[in-house]
Amino acid sequence: MPRQADIARVAGVSQATVSVVLGGNRTGVRLSEQTRLRVLEAAERLGYVPDPVAKRLASSRNNLLGLYTFTPAFPVDVADSYYPILAGVEAEAAALGKDLIMFTASSAVPDRIRRTRLADGCLFLGRHVPVDGIADLLAAGFPIVYIGRRTELGGRIPHVGADYVSASAEVITRLARAGHTRVRYLREPDDAPSSGDRERGVRAAAADVGASLVVTRTDGPDLDAASVRRWLADGVTALVVEETDTGAVFHATWRALGEAGISVPGDVSLAVLGRPPEGTPGPVISGFEVPRRALGRAAVRLLASLVEPGAGEPSLHRLLTCPPVVGETIATVA
């Protein structure tokens, strides 16, 4: 591999001059433009690539952004809910001239999380925050951004998330406009912020429109045909289901409706707070889009602004709008 000494020999200058030029002349050494161009041309001709370790020692940055995901394996299936987020991360990093280091571990052990400091800053992706590890990074002033709204550590975690509260409220309002006054909301028992935000939106909108709302927490196995028949007999005309990474509650609800012979939206209206799992048969399910690709891109931009602060202070907490999906599964109550 060519070294700076080789560039100096080809360009006919001292190695110190080469170091100044390739380092961007941060100290303001007086150099002629002709000399600067001669050094750059020699470096290009020799195929010189700076040693990233040496560059980091010199500048404290190496144009590397980390991405730490708590999934057991890096998701590559396009049907995986993380896939579009990761695609957005990659696209924006490339647009900014940044490279990515992937930290893929299902464990949130603080020692593993500290490895992210190999990068200039790190994105985190997962339903729950490893509080101890993240607190250590924040205390050290290491730039981090969480993909998804976070409330832990007193709200000090920079994040880019989706506005689930407003989007979920809009779904309930849409049902109310169609005449639905008795709604059952099905969600997983897990208390991730995204789940809490959806329920907050659902409850607030139901109170605003005067709808009767029952919230059922379930992981799916207890949902069966008898359950949904009983709900309909009690006057429920609409089911609303939380979207999660696993899709467990939606799958269980859809299966129970089929086993009970209940048609959607003929017998009951159905909406999902997000999108149904890929490949769900039947009509287009009403709900909203989670802007996952945009989340990935916006998170990279925020992280880059924390790594290299520019003019003005970036907004450390940003929520993106979730566009509604009208779908075909909300019918008007006769």
Q: What pLDDT, in 10s, does the model give residues 131-143?
A: 888 998 999 899 9
Is residue 77 classed exposed, middle or buried when 0-12, 13-18 and 19+ CB atoms within 10 A define those classes?
exposed
**Cα separation of 303 and 295, whole Å?**
12
Q: How confident is the model at residue 82 (pLDDT cuts 50, 70, 90)?
A: confident
β 269-273/238-242 pair status: parallel
C-alpha distances (whole Å) from 83 to each of 75, 80, 167 are 6, 5, 22
pLDDT at residue 105, as a whole number: 63
Amino acid letter for position 33: E
69 band by pLDDT with thresholds 50, 70 and 90: confident
- C-alpha to C-alpha distance for 64 and 199, rounded to whole angstroms: 37
Higher pLDDT residue, 74 or 205?
Answer: 205
Minimum mean pLDDT range among 51-60, 102-111, 185-194 = 51-60
Cα 108 from Cα 241, distance rounded (Å)? 29
Residues in CB range of 285: below 8 A, 6 or more apart: 270, 271, 272, 275, 276, 325, 327, 328, 329
Q: What pLDDT does residue 73 have?
A: 47
What integer is the mean pLDDT of 54-75? 67
Inform me whether the pLDDT recorded for 160 exceeds 60.
Answer: yes
% of the chain with per-residue pLDDT over 70: 89
* C-beta of residue 161 within 8 angstroms of C-beta of residue 148: yes
Instruction: Give the pairing type, strands 182-187 and 287-288.
Output: unpaired
Rg (Cα) of the chain, in Å, rounded? Answer: 26
How much is the average pLDDT of 15-22?
A: 88
Cα dihedral sign, 174-180-186-190: positive
Lowest mean pLDDT among 16-25, 175-184, 188-197, 296-305: 16-25
DSSP H stretches of helix in the chain: 4-11, 15-22, 33-46, 52-59, 83-95, 110-114, 131-139, 152-155, 164-177, 193-209, 225-233, 248-260, 292-307
23: which DSSP letter?
T
pLDDT > 90 fraction of the chain, expressed in percent and rounded: 62
Q: Is the pLDDT of residue 107 over 60?
A: no
pLDDT for 21: 86
Q: What is the pLDDT averaged over residues 43-71?
A: 71
| Phi (first) and psi of residue 225, to 5 degrees | -60, -40
**How far does the chain reach from its first CA to its final CA, in angstroms?**
77
In the prediction, which pLDDT does 55 show?
A: 53
User: In whole numbers, what is the pLDDT of the chain averaged over residues?
Assistant: 88
Number of H helices, E strands in the chain: 13, 12
Any residues with CB less than 8 A from the CB of 185 and at least 6 apart, and which?
199, 202, 213, 214, 215, 216, 240, 241, 242
pLDDT of residue 75: 55
- Specify the range with the lowest mean pLDDT, choosing from 115-119, 248-252, 287-291: 115-119
Query: So what's the pLDDT on residue 128?
Result: 77
**The pLDDT of residue 324 is above 80:** yes
Give the largest Cα separation in the chain, rounded.
90
Q: How many C-beta neighbours within 10 Å does residue 205 have?
A: 23
Residue 125 CA from chain centroid, whole number: 6
From residue 324, how far is each of 73, 148, 192, 262 by CA, in Å? 31, 19, 22, 25
Q: Does the pLDDT of residue 169 top 90, yes or no?
A: yes
Mean pLDDT computed over 102-123: 77
- Tens digits of residue pLDDT in 199-214: 999 999 999 999 999 9
More confident residue, 269 or 308: 269
What confidence score (pLDDT) does residue 170 get?
98
Q: Which SS3 state, helix, strand or coil, does residue 239 take?
A: strand
Please give the residue that has the higher pLDDT: either 62 or 253.
253
